[in-house]
């Protein structure tokens, strides 16, 4: 089949009947529900995009020759990474980076997994690794949309990351066809717009937790799967009033596994704790970070462009404001430079598999949870009350209001009231709406907090050069004169 169109994606979703809850109701039809219909169109547009931008987005499947999305590529060369970059940048531009879990995120993740049968097949897990490689072929050829859940729910943080055997997802039985799993996980972003759910490792499991060592993929409407969505941030479709909330609410869902049967050929890890605790530790991060950081860089650039337009609309060229715009631009460029460095220093991790170098991306990942709240703060400071003095499309069109709005709510120079309202409504949707608040939460916590990321990168960062720069002073031979002077001073102190 190969790369799907938006219509084919929507037809696939329409055939599914997942157990999805939002607000006070169980959702009968995801595509028709106001909480989901706007974002469903956007995800469909991402599927259409790969055909519209085929040069950047489509590559032949290495075995069948079918056109597949470049995010499914197992990178075999630097050129593959460059092609993948172009493809993912197109997707990020379509959502201005507001959909963190657009399907390319999981495509890249599974391409990275399939590239490492040496890791997935370790410790006797050859069958799991073979299942995973077969699944990645199916994923790319059927062009499925995946959601994923890798984190245990939080019950009592004083007991660590593992919430206990009754809550964390675990295997309860073997059947003729596979295994039965029970428990819960967080937080499946994109769930209502996914064909299948992926479960794979995150934090290492403690001793004795072998039953929790699971990785698999199953269709969203597998019996026993339940998705509890957070309150919707989606607004009714009105692209003037809510340019972002009406199309980019990708949703986040708590997942319950109420005795769910996973077919044997979909089990990638079924109790092998040694593999579970190891597979995420090497190349997964640098591989997937290429996608997430291209997305983040695009969002930063959007924010800088938006803030610039805001200042132009109200003629604010003050030094204080210009300084903040320069600060935004610096984040854009630091992000671009980190991605460029990681790609320039890409290397062959194992024979025939190329991934970026991880360090620049790890540093950027740890910094972004601080940068993004600051981006919101800057746009809020630049926007001030103007963020709330932005009439709706209906108000602008109302004959009773229009003459007043045109006069009193116009912008600087020849900026009309309509143009000004569009800019500040876009800005409010970016920093002040429910979608905006969720966006900041996402940037703070997706793939762990900044705090946790900083702690990890300090532990794994190569330290040879840094310590050598310091040790030069600590280990240098201070010579006879200096040593004698030290001894003299020590003796004088002893006599006092
Ligand atoms: C909007 C959103 C979307 C998400 N989407 C997905 C998804 O699609 N799939 C998925 O599987 N998960 C998803 N997640 C879940 C995400 O993976 C977790 O929220 C993330 O791992 C953070 O978990 P945590 O609360 O344990 O954070 P932590 O990293 O534990 O941070 C929580 C707090 O503890 C502090 N802290 C962290 N580490 C330490 C430490 N070692 N010592 C002291 N303090 C510490 C931090 O400063 C922070 O304030 C999503 C989360 C959000 C918010």
Does any ligand 1 atom lie closer than 6 A to the CB of residue 446?
Answer: yes
Q: Is residue 469 part of a domain?
A: no
pLDDT of residue 164: 84
Residues 258, 290, single domain; the answer is no
Residues 175, 53, single domain; the answer is yes
pLDDT tens by residue, 292-301: 999 999 999 9
Determine the distance from the C-alpha atom of residue 372 to the mean position of all C-alpha atoms in its chain, rounded to a whole number.
13
Residues 6+ apart with CB under 8 A from 181: 169, 170, 171, 172, 214, 216, 257, 259, 260, 262
Does any ligand 1 atom lie closer than 6 A to the CB of residue 264?
Answer: no
Q: Which domain holds residue 167?
A: 6-276
Residues 239, 300, single domain; the answer is no
Residues 385, 437, single domain; the answer is yes
**How far is 36 from 29, CA to CA, in rounded Å?**
9
- Going by CA atoms, what residue is nearest to atom 22 of ligand 1? 448
Q: Is residue 328 part of a domain?
A: yes
Go through 120-152 and write b for each residue having 16 or more CB atoms within 10 A of its CB, e for each that does not: bbbbebeebbebbbebbbebbbebbbbbbbbbb
- Residue 379 structure tokens: 């746009």
Distance 83 CA to ligand 1 centre (A): 31
Strand partners of residue 179: 174, 262
Residues 288, 269, single domain; the answer is no
Residues 308, 451, single domain; the answer is yes
Q: Is residue 228 part of a domain?
A: yes
Please give the radius of gyration of the chain, using alpha carbons only, rounded to the nearest integer. 26
Which atom of ligand 1 approaches the CA of 455 most closely? 41
Residues 24, 110, single domain; the answer is yes
- Tell which residue, 84, 92, 108, 85, has the closest CA to residue 42: 92
Does any ligand 1 atom lie closer than 6 A to the CB of residue 252?
Answer: yes
- Final residue before a domain boundary, out of 276, 295, 325: 276
pLDDT of residue 163: 87
Residues 249, 304, single domain; the answer is no
Residues 256, 332, single domain; the answer is no
Does any ligand 1 atom lie closer than 6 A to the CB of residue 228?
Answer: no
Question: What residue ranges of the chain have pLDDT lower than 50?
Answer: none
Strand partners of residue 355: 347
Distance 251 CA to ligand 1 centre (A): 17
**How far is 401 from 404, CA to CA, in rounded Å?**
6
Which atom of ligand 1 approaches the CA of 190 most closely? 8
Residues 197, 233, single domain; the answer is yes
- Final residue before a domain boundary, out of 228, 256, 276: 276
Which atom of ligand 1 approaches the CA of 442 most closely? 1
For ligand 1, pick from 102, 105, 151, 229 the residue to mutate: most ligand atoms within 8 Å of CB: 151
Residues 221, 253, single domain; the answer is yes
Count up the domains in the chain and report the number.
2
Residues 207, 255, single domain; the answer is yes
Does any ligand 1 atom lie closer than 6 A to the CB of residue 302?
Answer: no
Does any ligand 1 atom lie closer than 6 A to the CB of residue 187?
Answer: yes
Q: Please measure the distance between the N-terminal and C-terminal CA atoms of the chain and give it in whole angstroms.
A: 89
Q: What is the CATH number of the domain that holds 429?
A: 1.20.140.10
- Tell which residue, 245, 252, 235, has the closest CA to residue 193: 252
Distance 33 CA to ligand 1 centre (A): 29
Cα angle, residue 282 at apex, residues 279 and 286 outer, rounded to 5°: 120
**How far is 120 from 268, CA to CA, in rounded Å?**
8
Q: What is the DSSP letter of 237?
A: S
- Residue 425 structure tokens: 């409504």
Residue with tokens 């040694």, as numbered in its chain: 274
- Going by CA atoms, what residue is nearest to atom 31 of ligand 1? 449
Distance 447 CA to ligand 1 centre (A): 7
For ligand 1, pick from 257, 372, 449 the residue to mutate: most ligand atoms within 8 Å of CB: 449
- Residue 271 dihedral angles phi and psi, to the nearest 5°: 105, 5
For ligand 1, pick from 250, 444, 448 the residue to mutate: most ligand atoms within 8 Å of CB: 448
- Final residue before a domain boundary, out of 215, 250, 276: 276
- Going by CA atoms, what residue is nearest to atom 33 of ligand 1? 449
Contact criterion met (CB below 8 Å) for 336 and 299: no
Does any ligand 1 atom lie closer than 6 A to the CB of residue 448?
Answer: yes
Q: Is residue 46 part of a domain?
A: yes
The pairs formed by 150-159 with CB atoms below 8 angstroms and a separation of 24 or more are 150/185, 150/199, 150/200, 150/201, 150/202, 151/185, 151/186, 151/187, 151/202, 151/203, 152/184, 152/185, 152/186, 152/203, 153/184, 153/185, 153/186, 153/254, 154/186
- Going by CA atoms, what residue is nearest to atom 49 of ligand 1? 449
- Residue 215 dihedral angles phi and psi, to the nearest 5°: -145, 130
Does any ligand 1 atom lie closer than 6 A to the CB of residue 381?
Answer: no
Q: What is the CATH number of the domain that holds 61?
A: 2.40.110.10
For ligand 1, pick from 288, 438, 451 the residue to mutate: most ligand atoms within 8 Å of CB: 451
Does any ligand 1 atom lie closer than 6 A to the CB of residue 149?
Answer: yes
Contact criterion met (CB below 8 Å) for 100 and 244: no
Which atom of ligand 1 approaches the CA of 447 most closely? 17
pLDDT of residue 77: 97
Distance 116 CA to ligand 1 centre (A): 26
Does any ligand 1 atom lie closer than 6 A to the CB of residue 442?
Answer: yes
Q: Is residue 471 part of a domain?
A: no
Distance 237 CA to ligand 1 centre (A): 31
Q: Is residue 491 part of a domain?
A: no
Q: Is residue 89 part of a domain?
A: yes
Distance 295 CA to ligand 1 centre (A): 19
- Tell which residue, 428, 90, 379, has the closest CA to residue 245: 428
């Amino acid at each position: 089949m190969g790369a799907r169109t938006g219509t084919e994606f929507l037809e696939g979703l329409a055939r599914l009947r997942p157990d999805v809850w939002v607000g006070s109701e169980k959702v009968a039809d995801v595509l028709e529900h106001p909480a989901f219909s706007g974002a469903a169109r956007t995800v469909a547009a991402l599927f259409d995009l790969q055909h519209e931008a085929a040069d950047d987005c489509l590559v032949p499947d290495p075995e069948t020759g079918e056109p597949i999305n470049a995010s499914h590529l197992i990178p075999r060369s630097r050129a593959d990474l460059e092609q993948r970059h172009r493809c993912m940048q197109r997707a990020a531009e379509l959502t201005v980076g507001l959909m963190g879990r657009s399907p390319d995120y999981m495509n890249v993740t599974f391409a990275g997994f399939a590239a490492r049968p040496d890791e997935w097949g370790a410790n006797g897990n050859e069958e799991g690794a073979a299942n995973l490689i077969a699944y990645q072929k199916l994923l790319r050829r059927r062009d499925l949309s995946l959601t994923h859940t890798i984190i245990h729910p939080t019950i009592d943080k004083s007991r660590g990351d593992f919430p206990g055997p009754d809550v964390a997802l675990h295997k309860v039985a073997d059947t003729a066809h596979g295994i039965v799993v029970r428990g819960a996980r967080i937080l499946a972003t994109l769930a209502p717009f996914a064909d299948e759910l992926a479960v794979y490792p995150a934090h290492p499991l403690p001793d004795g937790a072998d039953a929790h060592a699971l990785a698999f993929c199953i269709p969203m409407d597998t019996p026993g799967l339940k998705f509890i969505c957070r309150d919707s941030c989606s607004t009714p479709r009105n692209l003037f009033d809510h340019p972002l909330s009406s199309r980019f609410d990708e949703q986040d869902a708590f997942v319950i596994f109420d005795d769910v049967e996973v077919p044997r050929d979909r089990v990638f890890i079924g109790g092998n704790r040694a593999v579970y605790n190891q597979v995420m530790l090497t190349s997964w991060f640098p591989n997937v970070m290429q996608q997430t950081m291209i997305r983040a860089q695009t969002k930063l650039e959007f924010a800088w462009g938006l803030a610039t337009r805001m200042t132009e609309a109200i003629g604010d060229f003050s030094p204080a404001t210009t300084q903040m715009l320069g600060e935004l631009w610096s984040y854009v460029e630091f992000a671009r430079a980190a991605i460029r460095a990681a790609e320039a220093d890409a290397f062959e991790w194992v024979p025939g598999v190329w991934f970026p170098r991880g360090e620049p991306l790890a540093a950027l990942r740890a910094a972004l949870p601080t940068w993004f709240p600051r981006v919101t703060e800057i746009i809020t400071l630049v926007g001030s009350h103007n963020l709330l003095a932005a009439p709706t499309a209906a108000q602008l069109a109302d004959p009773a209001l229009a003459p007043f709005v045109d006069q009193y709510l116009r912008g600087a120079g020849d900026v009309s009231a309509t143009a000004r309202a569009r800019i500040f409504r876009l800005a409010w949707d970016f920093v002040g709406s429910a979608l905006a608040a969720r966006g900041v939460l996402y940037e703070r916590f997706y793939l762990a907090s900044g705090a946790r990321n900083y702690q990890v990168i300090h532990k794994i960062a190569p330290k040879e050069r840094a310590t050598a720069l310091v040790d030069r002073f600590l280990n240098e031979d201070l010579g006879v004169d200096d040593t004698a002077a030290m001894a003299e001073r020590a003796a004088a102190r002893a006599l006092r």
